[in-house]
Copies of this chain bind each other. A is one copy, B any other.
Amino acid sequence: MKENIEEELKVAKAATVGAKLLSNELKRDLLYKIAAELKGNVENILHENKKDLERMDAADSRYDRLLLTEQRIIALADSVQAIADLDDPANKLLSSKLLDNGLLVEKKTVPLGVVGVIYESRPNVTVDVAALCLRSGNVCLLRGGSDAWFTNNVLVELLRSVYSKHAVNPDMLQLLPTERKHVTELLTATKFVDIIIPRGSQSLIDFVRENAKVPVIETGAGVCHTYVDKHADLPKAAKIVANAKISRPSVCNALDTVLVDQAIAESFLPILIELFHEQQVRIYADDSSYEILTMLQYPYLEKASPEDFGREFLSLQCSIKLVDTLDDALIHIANYSSKHSECIISEDAEKIAIFMEAVDAAAVYANASTRFTDGGEFGLGAEIGISTQKLHARGPFALEKLVTEKWYVTGNGQIR
């Protein structure tokens, strides 16, 4: 076992200058070559992947995420090729001013430097993140789950060999050892690492937030509300709510709580539970909605406890609360939202406008499923994550956020 990862961190930092100077064309070409190498090494990759799979119980929920197939490897290669074709976000001129004193003051985008990504057992993250970092001229430090060690290692070595073959420093990409102490080392290496992006479960993100000294872009949990106003089209509302809950309950943009205007609850809930029933969606209901749902004999019903509001269910469960006014809905959301995605369903334009301005979240919706909060759906290309913070990146973010700004000041002897 390694004592520490200082050497890895040092060579990563040292690789930043070379990474920054790679031309747009070379970066694109390297990505095409990587895509080809992935397709040409399917057997080798599957062989290493098998070693990881053999260590995991096939009933484990992570098994399918870890599993690679020929088809999945080809999809990985295609994704690398798509990233190759994206615009280089670095070296863009943001502003340029010639001052009266003759100084030329320019602001340009430049790569962040060393990007550390901490994730779990999805090998596609390994390739995607490495490709996005290369595309933007960043050095990439990967810390994947120990479950995926052999898979990640063969993938990273394949990429590094492409770098070496083309006289590019392979230390631009490194897979870090998986021991926890090295994670803490990475999170506190302010001298060597410019940014950390955690991708994975809430507990991983919490650990990173608690321990990081390096700046973090949080890709956080989604406690998502949908408010059904009394001026909603009820069948449409039920379809949107059901989709937000059922289409993929394990993801962060899935619905957690339905807020229903008291005035339409008795007409709305019967339509909703018709859509919930088949999927056996479990409802944690506040007192007023519990009464209605009991009368309707909905079988998957429990009384909500206080913790069921503000809870991210990540499964076929949700909480329901009746509210008297739009204001009550806004107050509830302000108290319990994780500021990810929030929705109003209404045909009243004024109420929609108030809701969308007043709610403080990365994405606010009118009359559509919150499940759309996604870089691909929003047309951003390869998504890095969905930021729930307010600085630098908010909501779905992609390649263009892997850069920072830098001021270039060119003079001829100017003094102040």
Q: How far is the CB of A110 from chain B (nearest CB, A)?
A: 8
- Chain B minimum-CB-distance residue to A368: B411
Q: Is the CB of A390 within 8 A of B362?
A: no
Q: Smallest Cβ distance from A175 to chain B, in angstroms?
A: 24
Residue A99 lies at the interface, judged by CB distance under 8 Å to chain B: yes
Contact partner of A412 among B16, B244, B367, CB < 8 A? B367
- Of A16, A358, A394, A415, most buried by chain B (CB within 10 Å of CB) is A415
Task: Provide the A360-385 mask, 1 if CB < 8 A to any CB of B, else 0.
Answer: 11111111110111000111000000
Contact B368 A413 (CB under 8 A): yes
In the assembled complex, A236 has its CB within 8 A of some CB on chain B: yes
Contact yes or no, A378 B407, CB < 8 A: yes
A415: nearest chain-B partner, CB-CB? B243
* Interface set, chain A 88-129, CB cutoff 8 A to B: 97, 99, 103, 105, 107, 112-113
Within 8 A of B (CB), among A199-222: 215, 217
Given the contacts A97-B378, A407-B378, A414 and B369 also touching, CB distance less than 8 Å: yes
Interface majority SS on A: helix, strand, loop or mixed? mixed
Residue of B nearest to A13 (CB): B334
Copies of this chain held together in the complex: 2
Instruction: Give the shortest distance, in Å, between A237 (CB) and chain B (any CB).
Output: 9
A328 to B356 alpha-carbon distance, docked (Å): 55
Tell me if A362 and B407 are in contact (CB < 8 A): yes
CB-defined contacts of A404 to chain B, threshold 8 Å: 390-391, 394
Say if the beta carbon of A416 comes within 8 Å of chain B: yes
Q: Could you give, for residues 379-416 of chain A, a 1 whenever the CB lies within 8 Å of some chain B CB and a 0 otherwise?
A: 10000000001111111100000001111111111111
Chain A interface residues toward B at CB < 8 A: 13, 16-17, 20-21, 97, 99, 103, 105, 107, 112-113, 194-195, 215, 217, 233, 236, 239-240, 243-244, 247, 330, 334, 352, 356-358, 360-369, 371-373, 377-379, 389-396, 404-416
Give the top 5 A-B pairs by smallest Cβ distance, nearest first: A368-B411, A243-B415, A391-B392, A390-B404, A363-B407
